Amino acid sequence: MVSLLLPGQARLTLAPGTLTTRDQREQESRTQRPMHEVPMLFEKSSAPTTATRNIVDVTTKSFEAEVLRYSMTTPVVVDFWATWCGPCKTLGPALEQLNEEFKGAFRLAKVDIDKEPGLAQYFQIQSVPTVIAIIKGQLMDLFQGSLPKPDIKRVLQAVLEQAGVTVPVDDVPPTDPVRAEVYWKRKLEKAPDDGKALLELGRLHVQRGRAAEGKTLLEKVGAEQPEFSAAQATLKTLGLVAEVAAAGGEAAVRARLEADPTDLRAAYLVACAEASSGHFAAALSVLVDLVSAGPADVRQDAKKAASVVFEAAGREDEAIEDLRRKLARLLF
């Protein structure tokens, strides 16, 4: 039998202000369960065979070695997810990217709740995704649901600092497009298959009107890489150009909207043109409004286009995240 918490120990908790207000409310609402000892749910296993891996899929059988024992020397972040969970498809890649950015400062353990219902039941997972941390055998609740990547990063930094682990210095890309382009080109010179660099440089080319160059880079992102879905979504935004072209081209649809600002089909087409040029926030602002107030045919097209553009835009821009939340409120 392996202790997850020693008798009488309290749970670890994050420092005040680490989580957003919503996250705090969700965390406070979770049942406080006794964690003095882990029952025989966790089968005895041999020493971990994947000790050098920073990302592991764990089972009930491997949990003791891959998570509990490992947490005695390195913090382990556990992601409870499911194949049918939409937000999990966003959170999972973000956690994997941060694991790489943090250079092995923590291990990421992934638990598929459908394959491992015993683990989900023991940790009382009420919804997915749910993320916890285990540090030296002690449990720390982190958050439920998918958060923007900067918020996830802030939480993980707090976890590592509380664990006494040195947090790697940020390698922050420049915000200026010209300097950012140089930054990502240098990344690719060092690692030509760097999915993040291919994605970001491809986006920059699209945003700066060099669609062909952007397309070439985006198509190099492999299906096994975390950035694949975002690269494919960005490529799909280029397909929105076809709708604009069928309506006479960008100049024509802009002139049409200027002549009649109530022409919502023209507004939709201009938003498509903005998205295909990489101006995601401007495009989404219009598309979300059209989902709210457009006629049925425009509303349906705007909803489909917004889904593609949100995926292409990623989770880094807070203005886009506000629009994402606005659309969610409209739909649900």
Long-range contacts of 209-215 (CB under 8 A, 24+ apart): 209/277, 211/238, 211/241, 211/276, 214/238
Structure letter (DSSP) for residue 61: T
Place of tokens 């491809």: 202
Beta-carbon-side half-sphere exposure of residue 158 (alpha carbons within 13 Å): 20
Catalytic residue check, 272: no
Catalytic residue among 4, 67, 88, 283: 88
Q: 69: burial class by Cβ within 10 Å (0-12, 13-18, 19+)?
A: middle
Give CB contacts under 8 A, 24+ apart, made by 31-35: 31/124, 33/124, 35/4, 35/5, 35/11, 35/139
CA distance 94 to 147: 9
Mutual angle of helices 296-313 and 228-246, in 10-degree steps: 140
Which residues neighbour 212 within 8 Å (Cβ) at sequence distance 6 or greater?
none
Q: Each residue of 278-288: b (16+ CB within 10 Å) or e?
A: bbbbbbbbbbb
Distance in angstroms (rounded) separating the CA atoms of residues 22 and 20: 5
> What are 135's strand-pairing partners?
138
Q: Which of 56, 67, 85, 291 is catalytic?
A: 85
Residues annotated as catalytic are 85, 88
